[in-house]
Chains A and B, each alone.
Chain A
Amino acid sequence: MENLLYIGKDIPRTAEIDKVTGRAVYIDEYKRPGMLYGKILYSQYAHARIKSINTEKAKRLPGVRAVITGYDIPDVRVGFLGDQAVLKRDVVRQFRDEVAAVAATSPEIAQEALKLIEVEYEPLPAIFDPIEAMKPDAPLVHESDARGRPLRSNILPLPWKFSAGDVEKARQESAHIVTDSVTTTWINQCCMGTSGCVAEFDSNNNLTYCGQTNVIFGAKQRIATYLKNIGLKGKKIRVFNPVVGGSFGTKLDTDIYEFICIQLALKTRKPVKIRFTREEEFAVLPPRQAARFTVEQGCDKNGLLTFRKVEAILDNGAYTSWGATTPSVMMLPISSMYRVPNVSFQATCVYTNNIYSQAMRGYGNPQAAFAVETSMDHLAEKAGIDPAEFRLINRNHPGDVTPMGLKITTCPLEQCITTVKEKIKWDEKRGKRNGRGVGMASLIHVAGGARVYLSDGTGIRIKVNEDGEVDVLSGSTDQGQGSPTVIAQIIAEATGFRPEDVNIVFGDTALGLWDAGTHASRHTFVAGNAAVRAGEMVKRQILEMAVQYIPKLLKRSLKQQKKKNPDFVEPVLDYTMVDSPEKLDLKNRMIFPKDAPDHPYFRTEVGKILTSGLHVGVGESKAVVAEVFWDPPTEMLNAEMKGNYSCTYAFGTAGVEVEVDRQTGEVKILKLVSAHDVGRAINPALVRGQIYGAAYMGVGFGLTERVQLVDGKVVNANFRDYKILTANDVVPVEAVIIEDPDAAGPYGAKGIGEPGLVPTAPAIANAIYDAVGVWIKDLPITPEKVLAALKAKGD
């Protein structure tokens, strides 16, 4: 690619200085005049009938402005399957069920008021095991569906079913077959900033909503539907973000507390803020979807994969959010990780009285990749092939169309695997079984948009001010991933300005064009593509103005010089060098003829042209502005779960070296190498940051993290007992960037937000097996599990 000034450079994240110096306005700091504070009362039971609720005492507490229950607001259902009310009436189905809410002049008073609300329950039989819940005589979590039709089973009407080729025939023809059971559990996203929002109505009942959503238009739509259903049709809604302290999936769906906040604002006619405590964040916010898999795979005598069959059971919890849709992403590794011609996959979502789940970084991919990639090692062993070699034999290739219909464009998987092999010293360290071992796993993920809704589009607006300041309005959001820096680099490169000239406003439905959401590792790709296109339009406009104004400005200046100095000899200039925009270029704020970039007369600072274009005196003035709405050529999955739902796919491989303490079962990671195909790294430092962070999350997923539920109740709702790794637990991570620019990406870039997490846990499990010969396929891999397995094996 032509020489680039800003792409590929470690531009520092200057936009973030406010965050580390405490100036940034997160939801915690966001305040409105007269604002009240909302708090929510949750259920005391996993399943119970509400016999009575008495809010009288709470209402009388000084400072309390409103107390509402399900009986005080319209009985309107919300959520992806419309299976829950905002405040629950009659029955609670999980411990996090919202029973009442208070708005008061301080959070402390609101909290105090909650204690004064008296709720009488009559416990009902509850069910916590999805397998049990599937049995015909299991107690029903829901007696009827959203439309009031009676339900007979806890199984959700979400038939996730995929089939390609002939699995039965392939099984018969396979030389080696393995079957494994794999379990993954609930994981909290652990955003640094806890959840919260501020809702405020004006006198016409138009809503201004400050929320943390990373899908601002989706949230606006859901809120609009809710308002319509409670009788506020056609009200204007503006959704915008404060500074957001992380998302990792938690800001994809509109959570129940957000509707409650809207109700409290409506009732009190005041701005109302709800902000979760850390305990609420753990106990109430939907975590990563827990899943159980049965995975069966076969290969022929040469080690070529013949088939893969996966069945998944998802503990849906009591209601439905995006967790139930994770099979659409589980599909990626199941259908398309390595070449496998015959595939079948089925996922069953089951209601239980546990908490329900939503998205988390990687969506269903980490769970499914854990199943597929540990099974790969198992099968490799059965076939007598080195697991790295086994992966290389079966690797994906550019130009492949996978059974799911994914069209693989660039694919440096071979390089990812060999790089990891080399860096982890695979050949030297593998197969010792001496307490130390190495393991690897790979991934495929969407990296070029993801058509999960009918639109996969995004819009961007660029206006250039007279002083050469570039204002950008993006319909996407910034939840801390570094987009203000990366998108500024792209815009600077495309327009010819510098990154520090670019000022981006994200996350405001009143300012941005439509965007499908800053999720699915799609932002740099889609917003970047829109930015390149809009940036080129801006540049073109400026160069057109330059054709007009360079000669004018120059002639005027020469004339003045002549006037001052009668001896001045006018240079002979070839004005045809600047007589068309094609002959000019703009870089680093300077306009110049392509043929003579250092031309002493024609080289012009962009500000002069912009000013000239505006301040024309008599005639038509011109402001530079461009707008692009870009929807990538991606396909929505069809009824068979097939379709090329991203423009391009990212590959990557993680390699891990572990040491296992055979007497305590403790696992220590000695080295973690994570090599990722990013197309092109727009900002290598930020790419590595994404890889480090995701790899750490993957280590937590693999070894320490779990939301512990006892009979439906979260019992470790704090950072003491939820074992996210600390800074002291540093794992030496080497992030390797593999570049193979993809024609579809902005300057060749692919998405890298999620991939780093995906292969980490299976690589750890595989390394443990190499070290001590036990498979732990139930996450997290705790010392207890390792020690129990070692003892069972007779060590």
Chain B
Amino acid sequence: MKGYEYHKPQTIKEAIGLMEGLENAKYIAGGTDVMVLVKQGKLAPANLVSLRNVGELLYLDLQNGVKMGARVTHTAIANNEFVRKRYSALPDGAGVVGSRQIRNVATIGGNICNAAPSADTACPLLVLDAKVVIVGKSGERQVPVDDFFLGPNKVALEKSELVTGFIIPAFGDNTGSAYIKHARRLAMDLPVLGIAARATIKVGGSEARCKDAFGAADDASGIIECLEAEGLVFEDVRIAMSVVAPRPMRAKKAEEAVRSKAISEKLLEEIGEIAASESQPRDSIRGEAWYRREMVKVLTKRALLRSIERVIRPDSTAFPNRLW
């Protein structure tokens, strides 16, 4: 491990300026990706430009959507009551990154800029239509997060460009979202795959009866039947998947297939199938391709149901496991 210089700019401008002038330099936020790579010898930067002291990157504005600085930690996201309620998929993801120790220092900016195919906040940001705010020497630009991921660990950043934050539009309270991380253990694990969903719904009949169904039914079919009977329609849907492609991706065909459709067991099966056909999983030491494809089917359905539940039963925190 060769030595590196550690720079501590105070402002965005200073950070970009440093980055412009330095050879073989790398931004470092929480360092939980960077330092691992350095220790493994996979990254040997001559200069590290720390974002730790750049106060401009630390904000969380929840009026009219979410405006969130790149340096916000996973813990800060996971613990925010309002975000949990209205943008549930995001804290679902941030809350399961690594371990408590990691979440306390690791940032959302780092997670997205590192662009691992398995990044736990990537799918949530994809389904929440988030935009990435980028500042470079020639000013600011905004890029939909879907256009930001280029490939494994590759993002649409030019040299010296910095991600300053993210913008998530406001959704009405007929919108719910969820992220399911499918991993082998409950901490310190990368997902075998991750699925996020967002559903904007309309209920023709009685919401109260839907609510009762969520509370009482002992399997998913019972709930779906009731939702169908009450005329639940998917007005708009987003589905995103991780680990099943070189980069976190949206299942756009599946999204299209559900839009404006009434819920039914058959429809949910279909969405899963379509999403699975869009995925391109591979065998790896962490999971087999066939299994990942199967899980896309199962978890897409579950993530959608969980999103619906969050609209209909916003106060229930625990999604009952017995549904499956």
Contacts and interface: CB of A to CB of B under 8 A. Distances in A.
Are A and B subunits of one complex? yes
A787 interface: yes
Interface string B273-294: 0000000000001111001001
Interface string A708-721: 10100001100111
B185 A704 contact: yes
A792 interface: no
A625 B187 CA distance: 53
A710 B284 CA distance: 11
Contacts of A720: 188-190
B203 interface: no
B213 interface: no
A715 B185 contact: no
A719 B188 CA distance: 8
Contacts of B291: 665, 783-784, 787
A229 interface: no
Nearest to B288: A784
Given A664-B295, A787-B294, A728 B185 contact: yes
B54 interface: no
A780 to B, nearest CB: 10
Chain B interface extent, by class: 20 to 34
Contacts of B1: 108
Contact of A727 (B187, B295, B299): B187
A716 B285 contact: yes
A381 to B, nearest CB: 27
Contacts of B295: 664
A204 interface: no
Contacts, number: 48
A577 interface: no
Contact of B188 (A661, A662, A726): A726
Interface string A696-707: 000000001000
B185 A661 contact: no
Contacts of A663: 298, 324
Interface string A765-795: 0000000000000000011100100000000
A726 B185 contact: yes
Interface in A398-445: none
Contacts of B288: 784
Contact of A662 (B182, B189, B324): B324
B46 interface: no
A725 B299 CA distance: 23
Most buried by B among A661, A662, A727, A783: A783
B186 A784 contact: no
Contact of B298 (A108, A664, A725): A664
Contacts of A719: 188
Give chain A's interface secondary structure class: loop
Contacts of B188: 719-720, 726
B141 interface: no
A726 B186 contact: yes
B209 interface: no
Nearest to A730: B186
A206 to B, nearest CB: 37
A723 B291 CA distance: 18
Contacts of A108: 1
B285 A729 contact: no
A723 B285 contact: no
A664 B182 contact: yes
Contact of A729 (B187, B287, B321): B187
B287 A715 contact: no
Interface string A108-146: 100000000000000000000000000000000000000
Interface string B1-15: 100000000000000
Nearest to A716: B285
A783 B292 CA distance: 11
Interface in A711-753: 715-716, 719-721, 723, 725-729
Nearest to B297: A663
Interface in A648-707: 659, 661-665, 704
Nearest to A108: B1
B298 to A, nearest CB: 5
Nearest to B190: A720
Contacts of A787: 291, 294
B184 interface: yes
Most buried by A among B182, B185, B190, B288: B185
Nearest to A706: B285
Contacts of A723: 184-185, 189
Interface string B184-222: 111111100000000000000000000000000000000
A661 B324 contact: yes
Contacts of B321: 659
A354 to B, nearest CB: 16
A729 B324 contact: no
Contact of B286 (A710, A721, A725, A726): A721
Given A721-B285, A784-B287, A728 B324 contact: no
A535 to B, nearest CB: 45
Nearest to B98: A720
Interface in B267-324: 285-288, 291, 294-295, 298-299, 321, 324
Given A664-B298, A704-B185, A726-B185, 14 more contacts: A108-B1, A659-B321, A662-B324, A664-B182, A665-B291, A704-B184, A715-B285, A723-B189, A726-B99, A726-B186, A726-B188, A727-B187, A729-B187, A784-B288
Interface of B: 1, 99, 182, 184-190, 285-288, 291, 294-295, 298-299, 321, 324
22 contacts: A661-B324, A662-B324, A663-B324, A664-B295, A664-B298, A664-B299, A665-B291, A720-B190, A721-B285, A721-B286, A723-B185, A725-B185, A726-B187, A728-B99, A728-B185, A728-B187, A729-B185, A729-B186, A784-B288, A784-B291, A787-B291, A787-B294
Interface of A: 108, 659, 661-665, 704, 708, 710, 715-716, 719-721, 723, 725-729, 782-784, 787
